[in-house]
Amino acid sequence: MMTTMAGDTARLRATVDFVREQDSATLLSLLLPGLDGPELRMLTDRCRFAHAAVLLCPPDQGALRAALADCGLSADTPVRPSVVVRDRLAARHGRAASELDVGILRPAVVGPDGSPRTVEVFALAVPPGSPLAPVAERERARQHESHLAFEVDRPDPLTLRGLCALFAAHGALPDGGGYNPHEDGTVFYFTAPADSKSGYGRVELYVPGDHQDVLAAHLDEHRARMPAEALLRLLTGAWTTQALAACAQLRLPDALSEDTATGVAALAREVGAVPDHLATLLRHLAMLGMVVEEHDGFRLTGTGALLRADAPGSMRPLALLYGGPFYESFAGLGHTVRTGQVAFEHRFGENHFDHFARHPELAALFDESMAASSPMFEPLPAHPALVAAAEGPGPRTVVDVAGGNGELLGRVLAAHPGLRGVLLERPHVVESARRSLDAAGVGDRCATVAGDFADVPPGGDVYVLSRVLHDWDDDRCREILRHVARAMPGHADLLIVERVLPSDGSASLATAWDLHMMCNVGGRERRYEHFARLLGSAGLVLMGRTPLPLDGNVLHARRAAR
């Protein structure tokens, strides 16, 4: 068995010849035996053979460049760090990732039809006498990182799901994947079918762009084949919550750039952290897609930028709440399930609303966190009930009951200059809401009322209850709805913004929030039919619902005819 650099060069040459000689249709037929004519035409119309990959273990850069030149490849091809392969090698061989210097380069090769292709070369540096020699020997023998890659043209979610299903139907099993922000591309890995004649054990579908929904389904299938690993990932979810909270506490996103990398030492000085410990946190954040690790440090991603304090709709307050008081209360979830007592009250000795009212910094954080859900509100001003009110004769008024910091009402009034607004809130919130409405430029058209649900202002044209009912049990919800119904004129509309539990058990954010509301405020999410019954008990009729982003819904109700 060849275990030297000469053997690496021979493997590289064989890979180059393979890439130069294969055409997509022939290779797909070898890879997925049993493809019929229509299936093969669909694949060749959507996929093209892009590269084959090989792992080399050169002693140094000079030896790597020499091997490239010997195989007719450009010796000047740039080398970039390969974080994914480095981490795979570390996990496979029980090594620290910091021990492994892995680069990736893609020298160009021309296919038989003149099409551009590449050879994907992973290079693990193994100097003479290195303790990594056994790793190199095993990798040379087993070639775990060798794979074929097909690039998908004209990708869309339906096409991607169809391609993944077709691969699976012919025995190619999901084997991981991920999104690479360096290249703005998504990778779907498969193990080749047992009867594949391609000579490669793994295959990759490379898709330009970010395709998180399809990728998530692909990764779920992969984890389903590895139940212990899937369960372990779920059990470590609390670590992820705390990593994101620590990121927000340290204001790492504010200290990082989306354009250039920052070294760990400089970043540690800026945020006041221990460099080695900060590097450990950053590597976990890189795995979560919050930052990207580059050869000279870490760079912020678009997702990570949502944790900046000044980001529009910043999610930093949510990270601090979910990693702070709500994290503590969730430790009592079992207590809530056993006793029915709200875990937040068990932990802090008082209910969520009173506790936050007594701690102004938490109350402010909670109000700020509401802005993180602003995407849910974006379509709401276009709801027919609001449009009709805005276009109706005379001045029309929107009453936002328990309207928080005025984010939603400000959006509605900004979209409809002819409308006026009234915001009802607790006394300690009204001042913040007034500032928010003034900042939105609608303060002159909006009154604020300090009070409780019993103080719902009468005579409005549209009433809004946004994420209010899920805070309360059914008895309190009936009471709230009766207060609103008594205030509503006969022509008025009621818009209720809530997440609605799916009736078929399908995945939904509402299911997770149902657990959160039970644990932290003693409330709940509800199904559509449940809302209809609650409204009916208050003399209101549920007219229908309209979907919103973030699994939200607008429920439209009116007073029952008498």
First to last CA, the chain: 90
Q: Who's near 148: CB < 8 A, 6+ residues apart?
A: 27, 31, 49, 51, 52, 53, 198, 200, 202, 203, 204
If we measure between CA atoms, which residue out of 471, 470, 183, 182 comes closest to residue 352? 471
Contact between residue 498 and residue 486 where contact means Cβ atoms under 8 Å apart? no
DSSP H stretches of helix in 122-184: 133-142, 157-169
- Other C-beta atoms lying within 10 Å of the C-beta of residue 362: 17
Rounded-to-integer distance, Cα 291 and Cα 279, Å = 12
Tokens standing for residue 242: 């705390």
Contact between residue 49 and residue 84 where contact means Cβ atoms under 8 Å apart? no
Rounded-to-integer distance, Cα 115 and Cα 153, Å = 14
Rounded-to-integer distance, Cα 437 and Cα 147, Å = 57
Tokens standing for residue 458: 């009468």
Contact between residue 55 and residue 92 where contact means Cβ atoms under 8 Å apart? no
Rounded-to-integer distance, Cα 355 and Cα 329, Å = 13
Contact between residue 57 and residue 124 where contact means Cβ atoms under 8 Å apart? yes
- Chain-centroid distance of CA 383 in Å reads 28
From residue 425, how far is each of 283, 317, 377, 421, 529 by CA, in Å?
43, 21, 19, 13, 28
Return the DSSP state at 506.
-
Rounded-to-integer distance, Cα 521 and Cα 524, Å = 9
211 is an active site residue:
no
Contact between residue 59 and residue 4 where contact means Cβ atoms under 8 Å apart? no
Catalytic one of 211, 222, 470, 516: 470
Amino acid at 406: G
From residue 290, how far is each of 169, 219, 252, 257, 271 by CA, in Å?
34, 19, 10, 12, 17
Active site residues: 470
